[in-house]
Amino acid sequence: MDMFDDLLTSYLERTCDAEPALLQHIHRETYVKETRPHMLSGHYQGRLLAFLSKLVSPHRILEVGTFTGYATLCLAEGLAPGGEIHTIDSNIELEDRVRGYFALSEWNHAIRYHVGDAATIIPQLKGPFELVFIDADKKNNGLYYELALEKIPTGGLILIDNVLWKGKVVADAGDSQTQQIAALNKQLAADNRVDKLILPIRDGVYVLRKR
């Protein structure tokens, strides 16, 4: 999933803030215990998420796609005092382990962990959310984006992960998932409700600011 070679990735990680100890632990366990560990945000992207969250200083964050909770904890670093982060995932098998990670963090009291269908849960959540991170099943990214956009104020940020899809979005790739991602990217590029740009970090992060 990484568009950079190992040497450059190592340099980027050495020149940003260090990965906190709990995140190092989650990183290691994810690569040992999960069959698709590349879904983890990782050190450099995790520091980007924390940095953006600290810039926004949100009172409420929405994350679609918890996985093992790494990005959740990165985003939580920027929460305003008394703030909370709602994170949603459909994988019930990870719930106990993820709750265990959250319990070890200083933001456990601020995390609202929902296990179930995001398309059903998001409309039930009370907004507004000043920061949204979408990193779940790619075929539903457009739906999650529209549901999130309804719940963020002017100036709020939506981040969508994996929008470059290993570079396939600029190739003549015929698989349906690549086509879905490329089609959404084209739709977002023309969306006048938001300011937008893609950061070419790991597998690409779309950053969208509601006008």
Note whether residue 186 is domain-resident.
no
Domain assignment present for residue 174? The answer is: no
Q: Which of the residue ranges 5-9, 26-30, 31-35, 171-175 would you say has the lowest mean pLDDT?
A: 171-175
Q: What confidence category does residue 173 fall into, taking pLDDT thresholds of 50, 70 and 90? A: low
161 belongs to a structural domain: no
Per-residue pLDDT at 188 exceeds 70: yes
Q: Is residue 97 in some structural domain?
A: yes
Residue 201: Cβ within 10 Å count: 17
User: Over pLDDT 90: what percentage of the chain?
Assistant: 86
Q: At what angle do helices 141-149 and 176-189 cross, to 10 degrees?
A: 30
pLDDT reported for residue 3: 61
pLDDT at 37: 93
Q: What is the pTM of this model?
A: 0.95
Query: Residue 72 is part of which domain span?
Result: 6-156
Total count of residues recorded for the chain: 211
Helix (H, G, I), strand (E, B) or coil at 179: helix
Instruction: Identify each DSSP E strand in 117-211 by its residue range.
Output: 131-134, 157-161, 194-199, 205-210
E strand map for the chain: 60-64, 84-89, 111-115, 131-134, 157-161, 194-199, 205-210
Task: Reply yes or no on whether the pLDDT at 74 is more than 60.
Answer: yes
Q: Is residue 176 part of a domain?
A: no
pLDDT score of 4 more than 70: no
Interval 120-127 mean pLDDT: 96
**Amino acid (one-letter) located at 23:** L
In this structure, is residue 59 part of a structural domain? yes
Q: CA–CA distance from 8 to each of 2, 11, 37, 38, 127 (Å)?
A: 11, 5, 20, 18, 39
Instruction: Name the phi and psi angles at 157, rounded to 5.
Output: -110, 140
> Is residue 197 a part of any domain in this protein?
no
pLDDT at res. 104: 98
Domain of 50: which CATH number? Answer: 3.40.50.150
In-domain check, residue 86:
yes
pLDDT at 7: 87
pLDDT at 1 over 50: no
The amino acid occupying position 206 is Y
Per-residue pLDDT at 6:
80
**How many domains in the chain?**
1
pLDDT, position 142? 97
pLDDT at 194: 98
